[in-house]
Chain A
C-alpha cells in the first residue's frame, strides 16, 4: 500500500492545496472523518469548520474552510470548497 495519496483542494478562487499527503481530516454532516492512503472509493460533504492535512513530509497543515465536498478514488483525493484559508 502506498504511503501517500495525491490531494487537490479547489476553491472558486483557485487551488488551495495540490501535493501528496498522508492524511486529511475534516467534518461532514455526521461528524469528523479522516482519509488515509488506500481508502475505499468515497464521497462526502464537508461542513464549515477546520480541515487538517498531514503532508508528505509529516507536517500538519490547518485550514479554515467553508462548505463543500470530498471525493476519494483509490489514491486520488479531490476536495472542492466554497472558500478556505490557511491557518
Chain B
C-alpha cells in the first residue's frame, strides 16, 4: 500500500493537472465560439462565389476547361490539415486512420499542421512547413493556394484532394477527404448564355477561378480549425472529469490509509497499556 505522503503527492499533482486542463478547456471554448461565428459569416460569402462559379462551369470555355475537365488518377496530391499541438482527443488520429484506409493512392502530400508530417513521416510536396491559426488562415491560404494551383495547371499533379476534419457540431467532427481540383460542376439556376460577363468570359474565369480555389482552401481551413477547437474543448472537458474521478478515488484511499494507520497506532497504544498492567 502506498504511504500517506505518496497519496497526498498524487492528489496534489492530479489537482494541478486538472487546473491546467480547465484553463485549456476555457481557452479552447472561447476560440471555438469565435471560429463558429466566423464560419457563419464565411458561408454566405462562399455561397455568393459558388453561385457565379456554377454558372461559369456550365459554359464551355478554354480557360474553364483547365479547372473543370476530369483527369485520370495518376499523380494525385493530398493536402492534409492536421493540428500543430496535441491534447485534442482523436482529432488527428481519426483523420490519419481515414487516410490510411482510403483506396486512393496519393503520390504527394502537402502538410498543413505539424502532426500530419510527424505521422506520415515523408517529405511534403511544398518545402516549407505550413501552420495556421484562426487569426491568419486567410493569409496562409492566399500564400499557398497559387503555389498549389500552379502545380495543377502545369499538370505536375492530376487531382487534388484535401483531408480534414469537417465541422458538424460541437461534439461531431467528421474526417473527410474531398476533391478540390478539378472543380465540381455545380447546379445552376439560370442559363449561362443569358449572362452578360465583363471582362470577356475567358478573362473573367482567369480572375475568378483562382480566387475561388483560394476561397475553397481558406473555408476548409476555417472548418478544420473550428473542429480542432471543438475537439480540444471536448477532450479537455473529459480530462477534467477524469481528473475529478481520480481525485475522488485517491482521496478515499488517502482517508482509508490514514484510518488504518490511526487504528494501528491505537492498537499499539492499547496493547502497550495492557502490557504495562
Contact = CB atoms under 8 A, between A and B. Distances in A.
Chain A bound to chain B: yes
Interface of A: 8, 10-15, 28-30, 33, 40-45, 67, 69, 71, 73, 78-80
B49 interface: yes
B170 to A, nearest CB: 22
Given A69-B49, A69-B208, A44 B198 contact: yes
Interface residues of B, number: 25
Given A29-B207, A67-B211, A40 B196 contact: yes
Nearest to B47: A10
B138 A69 contact: no
The DSSP consensus for interface residues of chain B is: helix
The DSSP consensus for interface residues of chain A is: strand
Contacts of A80: 45, 48-49
Interface of B: 38, 41-42, 44-45, 48-49, 51-52, 55-56, 138, 190, 194-199, 203-204, 207-208, 211, 218
A28 B56 CA distance: 18
B195 A30 contact: no
Contacts of B196: 40-43
A13 B198 CA distance: 26
Contacts of A67: 211
B51 A42 contact: no
Nearest to A79: B48
Given A30-B198, A44-B198, A69-B52, A12 B41 contact: yes
A9 B126 CA distance: 35
Given A30-B198, A45-B208, A12 B48 contact: no
